Amino acid sequence: MNLTSDSKVLIQGIMEPLGSVYAPLMRDYGTQIVAGVSAGQGGTSAFEIPVYDMVEQALEQVGKVDVSIIFASPYTALDVALEAIAAEIRQIIVITEGVPPLDTIRLIRKAEATETLIVGPNSPGIIVPGQILLGTHPPQFYTPGRVGIVSRSGTLTYEIAQELSHAGLGQSIAVSIGGDRILGSSFQQWLQILEEDEQTDVIVLVGEIGGDTEEVAAHYVAEVIDKPVVAYIAGQTAPRGQLMGHAGAIIASLAGMGADIGTAESKLAAFKRAKIPVADRPSQIPDLVKKAIGKK
Residue 190 pLDDT: 98
pLDDT at 91 over 50: yes
Helix residue spans in 31-70 (DSSP H): 55-62
Across the chain, which distance is largest between two alpha carbons, in Å?
A: 57
80-84, 156-160, 233-237, 243-247 — which is least confidently predicted? 243-247
Give the confidence band of 1 by pLDDT, cuts at 50, 70, 90.
confident
The DSSP string of 126-169 is EEETTTEEEES--GGG--EEEEEEEES-SHHHHHHHHHHHHTT-
Residue 239 pLDDT: 62
Nearest residue to 129 via CA among 200, 76, 79, 73: 200
- Give the start-to-end residue ranges of the domains of the chain: 8-119, 138-295
Summarize the confidence of residues 180-195 as an average pLDDT: 96
3-state secondary structure of 90: coil
pLDDT tens, residue by residue, 44-82: 999 999 999 999 999 999 999 999 999 999 999 999 999
> What are the φ/ψ torsions at residue 147 (nearest 5 degrees)?
-105, 120
8-12, 155-159, 232-236 — which is least confidently predicted? 232-236
Q: Are 133 and 25 in contact (CB under 8 A)?
A: yes
> Which of these CATH numbers, 3.40.640.10, 3.90.1570.10, 3.40.50.720, 3.30.830.10, describes 8-119?
3.40.50.720
pLDDT at 250 over 50: no
Residues 6+ apart with CB under 8 A from 60: none
pLDDT at 259 over 90: no
* Residues classed as catalytic: 246
Q: Given phi > 0 = left and psi -120 to 50 = alpha, else beta, which region is 258?
A: left
Return the CATH architecture of domain 138-295: 3-Layer(aba) Sandwich (3.40)
pLDDT at 99 over 60: yes
Domain 8-119 and domain 138-295 have a common topology: yes
Residue 295 pLDDT: 75
Expressed in percent and rounded to 5, the helix, strand and coil fractions of the chain are 35, 25, 40
- The pTM of this model reads 0.93
